[in-house]
Amino acid sequence: MVNPHTYYLNKVMSSLFLDTSVPGEERTNFKSIRSITDFWKFMEGPLLEGLYWDSWYNSHQLYDLKNSSRIYYENILLGVPRVRQLKVRNNTCKVYSSFQSLISECYGKYTSANEDLSNFGLTSNSEWRYSTSNTNSPWHWGFLGVYQNGGYIFTLSKLKSETKNKFIDLRLNNWITRGTRVIFIDFSLYNANVNLFCIIRLVAEFPATGGIVTSWQFYSVKLLRYVSYYDYFIASCEIIFCIFLFVFTTQEVKKIKEFKSDYFKSIWNWLELLLLLLCFVAVSFNIYCNIQIFLLLGQLLKSTEKYSDFYFLAYWHIYYNNIIAITIFFAWIKIFRFISFNKTMSQLSSTLSRCIKDIVGFAIMFFIIFFAYAQLGFLVFGSQVDDFSTFQNSIFAQFRIVLGDFNFAGIQQANHILGPIYFITFIFFVFFVLLNMFLAIINDTYSEVKADYSIGRRPDFELGKMIKQSYKNVLEKFRLKKEIQKAEQMKKWKERLEKKYYSAEIQDDYQPVTQQEFRELFLYAVELEKELHYINLKLNQVMRKLSAL
């Protein structure tokens, strides 16, 4: 699902559209946009040049006059790019009575209830009229809100001059207003060399406080999954995986019926059920993604004159990849169940299982203090230090402080008194006291486990026990087979001897013994002696057990 090509393709695309600076202004790129002026400079500069770059990879751009699609030697632009804006209505926030005579307009933060659905500006063109969504794409979760589909939409032309004139016209007629809360720039590329689709979304959020917050998404996904021979090999592996999944599910169902409520007392059985559930979810996602690709991909590739919304397919493909990642993670965790045959591994697992109650009690105390400091940092430094701008950021910032990554200068600058006090006391109590208590709990329990092992009190090695049991079963089968063969041979010897020496048809008392018959009689006697010795050993074992009782 993931290979180095996805990273390099994302890196190339991000370098082109995020790091390219505005001509004449080296510090102005998409990442550094902070005003509407900077935004239009990016649209008319790096974005325009990136989409219509005649010198990309030494003029790696051609025009196919047959279908008028823009083709790059490395990447094909699928359809045309789309720009979409969402706005909020006026008077979506309250103005304090003392300021109502001075402030007549008030635009709140974006919510679906505050969204502006009315037309504005030059209503003769589609980009000035609100359009409802006709795609299945999910809502976008940004830094400042969750944005739904639809909005004020326009698509770019295939000619660079027309697109540039469109940007200039929108800028001069104030397409971006005080009510604007987010602008999406969506387009998709296909690289045939590595069979990857790159779905790109550039997002500029306009908070109610002013300014612009930028973000981006680069999804390099393999929508055409079965093309090469290796892809078909992967398909065969997927089929085998489904067969194994069915077999393992059947086994777990039998175990549940056999052990009933006792089955759920083991944490490993819960992990097994979780793994099976995740596997079924992954298979369901795979089937759903393949069905959607089969239904939509052909239509999207044909629509070269309008925007092709590959974001829906990429979104579910990424979620499928995440489910696979979680499943593989728990599958690796399951290995701990089978490493108890090793003494060191057994000691580690025994240490963790024995001190889990102490760790839970310690964790409660730790997080009480940790969250107290996080709340303190958020309230004291939240308005001035980015690392403490939200309560969640405060929590992550404190984990970074524990690991040695911190911005003490920013904390001290935000508050000259509480800043150093917060930092010093946090380091003392959390780093020097609590973390050392945690290590002491682990160390003390490990010492106890090691002492138990030294005097011979160790748990059964589960995997070793399974291997030994399997080995004994195999030996028993071979021994039983050998005994059966010996018994059959002895039976034949007995029948032949009885027929020769004890047959009623033979009246002569004297019967000469041949060399072969003597050899068979000797082997028969040896086998009888072995059987007698084996029975004697068994009898002695039974007598010793009885005497012990």
Q: What is the pLDDT, as a whole number, of residue 469?
A: 63
- Tell me, what's the pLDDT at 63? 36
- Residue 54's pLDDT is 45
Chain mean pLDDT for the chain:
82
Tokens of 202: 């550039």
Question: Phi then psi for 276, rounded to 5 degrees?
Answer: -65, -40
pLDDT-wise least confident of 6-15, 183-192, 437-446, 475-484: 475-484
- Determine the average pLDDT of the residues in 476-488: 61
If one compares 478 and 167, the residue with the highest pLDDT of the two is 167
Query: Which band of pLDDT confidence, cut at 50, 70 and 90, is reported for residue 340?
Result: low
How distant is the alpha carbon of residue 244 from its chain centre?
22
- Give residue-wise pLDDT tens across range 396-454: 999 999 888 888 888 989 889 999 999 999 999 988 898 889 999 989 888 888 887 77
Listing DSSP states for 74-137 in one string gives: S-EEEEEEEEEEEEB-TT-S---GGGTTT---------TTTB--S--SSTTSGGGSEE---S-P
Tell me yes or no: is domain 349-455 CATH 1.10.10. Answer: no
What's residue 546's pLDDT? 72
Q: Which range in 39-43, 61-65, 527-531 is most confidently predicted, on average pLDDT?
A: 39-43
Cβ contact 185:47 at 8 Å: yes
- Answer yes or no: is pLDDT of 70 > 60: no
Residues 188-222: tens digit of each pLDDT = 999 888 889 999 999 999 999 889 999 999 999 99
pLDDT at residue number 53:
61
**57 pLDDT band (50/70/90 cuts)?**
very low
**Confidence check: pLDDT of 455 > 80:** no
d(CA 491, CA 496) in angstroms, rounded, equals 9
Q: Considering the entire predicted model, what is its pTM? A: 0.74
- The per-residue b/e assignment along 337-349, b for 16 or more CB within 10 angstroms, e otherwise, is eeebeeeebbbbb
